[in-house]
Amino acid sequence: MKLDYLDQLESEAIHIMREVAGQFERPALLFSGGKDSITLVHLARKAFRPGKFPFPLVHIDTGHNFQEALDFRDWLAESLGERLVVRYVEDTIRAKGLKEPTGRNASRNALQTFTLLDTIEEFEFDACIGGARRDEEKARAKERVFSVRDEFGSWDPKRQRPELWNTYNGKIHKGENVRVFPISNWTELDVWNYIKRENIALPPIYFAHERELILRDGKLLATAKGVIQAEEGDQIVTRKVRFRTVGDISCTAAVESEAATLDAAIAEIQATRISERGETRIDDQVSEAAMEDRKKGGYF
């Protein structure tokens, strides 16, 4: 009697979600319409059906999304009959008079944190479930499953709680919150293999399609009116591509691909010699500690 590794990972993730339901008053599931949070939603179904989810799905909308991901987000929430809360970075910028980053490769990544923290305050969320994986980045490799953030949303790697066996301590003071990562121990390939095994639907941008793109510094960026435009040195090209991650349209690069099916996409990921974030996330490449610094600032 031995569980396959995907069953072990699934069981662990379900256990973590149920601990959130059992330990917190007002949890939320952060949902972007990307493959990792789609996997979380699927795991929540397994954890709580035939009951309702004990939390709403929450999207912090930067306004720089792929339309395909937004459509998918709305369709999924609707078809599950679960509550979807959307809060807009645009509103935060206006309300707080924030300055938008400008220039080449500017993104709203940092601004997103303000909206997230405001949303947590608005709904008094005490736990936010997120789809981060430890294999994504070296600062994430150190993150606990239950990661306590202070009232400023800040992560302090030196003050993390020890986390033993499968016992999770979610006790917090008012104003603090916990970020919870049920798929911490999954790799990119595990997520894909699970999506295939469970027959989970994904937005179409994950599969090869022809698209108009900006070729900039060797990276292919989707065009989007008002969000990202070609600058000097850029080229507008049409290529067959797919997206390996779905972040902000302004800083998520496409990969050239013929993979139109799940099997083909998995084969491609197995063969690649470049990491997921290395290949697609421009925002992580700013410095050696870019992710660590963002997390200290409250980024999820």
Partner 1 sequence: MDLLRFITAGSVDDGKSTLIGRLLYDSKSILADQLEAIERASKSRDEGEIDLALLTDGLRSEREQGITIDVAYRYFQTPQRKFIIVDAPGHIQYTRNMVTGASNCQLAIVLVDARHGVVEQTRRHSLIASLLGIPHIVVAVNKMDLVDYSQDVFSNICIQYAELAQKLSLSKDVTYIPLSALNGDNVVDKSVHMPWYDGKTLLSHLEDVAIDHDENLTHARFPVQYVIRPQTTDLHDYRGYAGKITSGIFRKGDAVTVLPSGETSTVEAIELAEAHYDEAFAPMSVILHLADDVDVSRGNLIVKSDRQPIVSQNIEAMLCWMDTKALKAGSKYTLQHGTFRTRCVVREIVYQLNINTYEEATDVDSLKLNDIAKVILKTAQPVSFDPYTQNRVNGGAILIDETSNVTVGALMLRGEVE
Contact residues for partner 1 (CB under 8 A)? 1-5, 7-12, 14-15, 18-19, 21-22, 45-52, 54, 134-135, 137-139, 141-142, 157-158, 160-167, 169, 171-173, 184-185, 187, 189, 272-275, 278-279, 288-289, 292
Our CB check for partner 1 shows the closer of 54 and 204 to be: 54
Cβ of residue 274: shortest distance to partner 1, in angstroms?
5
Which residue, 6 or 110, has its beta carbon nearer to partner 1? 6
Q: How many CB atoms lie within 10 A of CB 266?
A: 16
Residues whose CB is less than 8 angstroms from the CB of residue 201 and which lie 6 or more positions away in sequence, other chains included: 38, 72, 76
- Calpha distance 156→165 (Å, rounded): 22
Return the number of the residue (48 or 207) whose C-beta is nearest partner 1.
48
Q: What 3-state DSSP class applies to 100? A: coil
Radius of gyration of the chain (CA): 19
Give me the least distance between CB of 98 and partner 1, in Å please: 26
Work out how close the CB of 147 gets to partner 1 at its nearest, in angstroms, rounded to a whole number.
Answer: 12
SS3 94: helix
Instruction: Say which amino acid occupies 155.
Output: W
Cα–Cα distance measured from residue 105 to residue 298, given in angstroms and rounded to the nearest whole number: 21
Return the number of the residue (101 or 278) whose C-beta is nearest partner 1. Answer: 278
Choice between 142 and 239, CB closer to partner 1: 142
C-alpha of 286 from chain center = 19
Instruction: Report how far apart the first and last C-alpha atoms of the chain are (Å, whole number).
Output: 37
Are 136 and 34 a contacting pair, CB within 8 Å? no
Shortest Cβ 50–partner 1 spacing (Å): 5
CB of 140 to partner 1, least distance (A): 8
